Amino acid sequence: MSEAHETNSQTLVFETKEFSFETLQQNNGLATVVKFRILNPHVRAGDVLLVLTGADVHFHGLIGRIDEGYAVATDHGSLLPVLVN
């Protein structure tokens, strides 16, 4: 019999105007894969990123990896505009 492991994921919530990110992939001017700084050491791959403007969801994606303090999340139905620097 295999041992059951309980996993808990968390949701990181940001307001659009306070969310700093780099667009890694985009579709029609919307950021579908983003890289952003993680300051919370408890954030893990498999957690969820939620970016809101008020009650409107602009990005709802799974964090796929974390490396050297940066996380990468994907949402192919994103409504988050690509940042232009």
Q: What is the DSSP letter of 4?
A: P
DSSP-derived secondary structure for 11-74? EEEEEGGG---EEEEEETTEEEEEEEE---TT--TT-EEEEEETTEEEEEEEEEEEETTEEEEE
The pLDDT value given to residue 9:
87
Number of domain units in the chain = 1
Q: Tens place of pLDDT for every residue, the chain, 85 residues? A: 445 555 688 999 999 999 999 999 999 999 999 999 999 999 999 999 999 999 999 999 999 999 999 999 999 999 999 976 5
Residue 27 counted as domain residue: yes
Answer yes or no: is 79 within a domain.
no
- In CATH, what number is assigned to the domain containing residue 55? 2.40.240
> pTM of this prediction?
0.86
Place of tokens 């309980």: 6
